[in-house]
Amino acid sequence: MMPKKIKTKPYTATRNACKMCTPLGAALVFHGIEGTIPLLHGSQGCSTYMRRYLISHFREPVDIASSNFSEDTAIFGGGDNLRLAIENVARQYTPEMIGIATTCLSETIGDDVPMILDGMDKKVDPTILVHVSTPSYTGTHVDGFHGAVHAVVERCNPVTEKTTDALKTRKKINVFPGMLSNEDIRHLKEIFTDFSDVRTPIDTQSPDAIKNGIDSYAMGNNTEFTILPDYSERLEGPSWEDYQAIQKGGTPVREIKAMNRATASMEFGSILASTVDQGEKSAGSLLKERFDIPLASLGIPVGVKATDLFFERLEELTATPIPEKYKKQRGRLIDAYVDGNKYVSRQRAVVYGEEDFVVAIAGFLAEVGIIPVLCASGGKSGFLQKALEEILPKNILEQVTVHPGMDFTRMEQTAGALEPDFVIGNSKGYTLSRHLNIPLVRVGFPIHDRIGGPRILHIGYKGAQELFDTIVNTLLQRRQDTSKTGYAYM
């Protein structure tokens, strides 16, 4: 079905946005830190809407406090409200950390949050206060996400605590994976743990372990790792036996504080890396600057090629060869690519979502022979085109329309002419896929119309395997459904 009118001129209004607002990303990060409550400095509505949005994806409690502006606050400034909110959150949740993110409102009236927070630290001690500036009119949820990771690392690793080299004898890797699914984070942990070939789990309560900030993921070859953020347990925990004001799980604050003692950092996202090259700060670049910790930046490891790169870096950083288990996964994956090659070859896909995610998925699609005919995102970092050029072979790139700053309505109008076979992205593309009458393969965030969104695995060989199977089976189902014959063998 072709859309009624194809508009090519720029459109003023955003119609069915393919992005969320900045504080949402920050709130998600804070949910990935142990004992942390996010607090949005602004009106009640923003917090409530974001909670609802996150709850619909995770199907878990997602508490986000608000400083709850009133008219007076908007006129005279939000200082008193914010201070009261902090005290109330501290009282109700006794959190380890409160993650304060601004909203458009507090940013626009020009609240000086660091000044407001001055002295509050002592008042709510030992709760740590972290502030991230997240006006929504300057970016998307992705900026809020990276901004919050950066703010937390910065707050927990002040320059004065610069460590001596002596403490760096242990291998320790900081991992900043970006906005991945719960299952992705769990898989990452599994990979790192396997790499360590742990034979005797380290007693984290021993005086030595506490002194050196060693956590339970300590590796046999003395390599430890810290993933930030890690919401994989907190936002997908078991049914409660007992009441939990703040659900268990998340990156422990003491581990974040020890990040300056790491031997390397790893950061996913090629777009993120480009913005860092341009002078923007990320958690990894901050640690590099402040503490000389080498930073390995790489794309999100989706697909064989990207995952190969990831494992290569891991082998280097840990001086450990890739475990047999992953070699086998890789072998099975490539064999599956072969078995399914004809089902997917030259199929055409529309890909959308966060820019880094789009790049990763497009790279994966290209390596199995699917043409990502439209790569779209609501984000506009300015690097999407470049990142795709780097990852896609030339013959495929020629067939790709790249569109940053795009909403779903324009995507629909553009996609029709490109004759796609399927759509791949978050559940917000359902309307588009329905109108184009082609299937939607659900990946990424959010998944609001299915159960198990947080359990979708994208990364590693295993993730590629699951993505590949899902895509092939979606296409086969389609062929079966639309055929008169109803073949029982495909």
Partner 1 sequence: METISVLEDRKNQIYRKGQDSFDISCEKKSLAGAVSQRACVFCGSRVVLYPIADALHLIHGPIGCASYTWDIRGALSSGPELHRMSFSTDLSETDIVFGGEKKLEKALFELIEEYEPKAAFVYCTCIVGIIGDDVEAVCKKVAAKVGIPVLPVHSEGFKGTKKDGYKAACDALFKLIELNRKPEKQIPLSINILGEFNIGGETWIIKEYYRRMGIEVVAVMTGDGRVAEVQSAHRACLNVVQCSGSLTYLAKDMEKAYGIPYIRVSYFGIEDTSDALYDVAAFFEDTPKIMERTKTLVQEEVKTILPELSALKKDLTGKRAAIYVGGAFKAFSLIKALKHLGMAVVLVGSQTGNKDDYALLREMCDPGTVILDDANPLELAKYVMEKDAHLFIGGVKERPIAYKLGIGFCDHNHERKIPLVGFEGMENFAREVHETVTSPVWDLVPRKAFNRAISKKG
Residue 56 engages partner 1 in binding (rule: CB under 8 A): yes
21 vs 152, beta carbon nearer ligand SF4: 21
69 vs 176, beta carbon nearer ligand SF4: 69
Angle between helical axes of 355-368 and 270-277 (0-180°, round to 10):
130
Name residues contacting ligand SF4, limited to 207-266 (CB under 6 A).
Answer: none
Residue 59 engages partner 1 in binding (rule: CB under 8 A): yes
- Which residues are CB-neighbours of 420 under 8 A, at least 6 positions away? 348, 349, 350, 373, 374, 436, 438
Residue 23 engages ligand SF4 in binding (rule: CB under 6 A): yes
Q: Is the peptide bond before 454 cis (omega within 30 degrees of 0)?
A: no
Nearest to 184 by CA among 369, 321, 23, 360: 360
109 vs 198, beta carbon nearer partner 1: 109
From the list 193, 431, 470, 473, which residue makes contact with partner 1 (rule: CB under 8 A)? 431
- The Cα 214–Cα 14 span in angstroms is 48
From the list 28, 30, 32, 69, which residue makes contact with partner 1 (rule: CB under 8 A)? 69
The residue nearest ligand SF4 at its CB is 45
Nearest to 127 by CA among 96, 92, 155: 96
Contact letters for partner 1, residues 117-146 (x by CB under 8 A): ------------------xxxx-x------
100 vs 295, beta carbon nearer partner 1: 100
Residue 45 engages ligand SF4 in binding (rule: CB under 6 A): yes
Contact letters for ligand SF4, residues 127-166 (x by CB under 6 A): ---------x------------------------------
Judge contact between 454 and 57, C-beta under 8 A: yes
Residue 434 engages partner 1 in binding (rule: CB under 8 A): no
What burial letters (b/e) apply to 33-47, b meaning 16+ CB within 10 Å? bbbbbbbbbbbeebb
Contact letters for partner 1, residues 8-27 (x by CB under 8 A): ---xxxxxxx-xxxxxx---
Dihedral sign (CA 150, 153, 156, 158): negative
Which of ligand SF4, partner 1, none interacts with 418 (beta carbon under 5 to 8 A by kind)?
Answer: none
The CA-CA-CA angle for residues 358, 20, 175, to 5°, reads 55
Residue 275 engages partner 1 in binding (rule: CB under 8 A): no
Judge contact between 153 and 253, C-beta under 8 A: no
Residue 85 engages partner 1 in binding (rule: CB under 8 A): yes
Name residues contacting partner 1, limited to 214-243 (CB under 8 A).
Answer: 237-243
Dihedral sign (CA 159, 160, 161, 163): positive
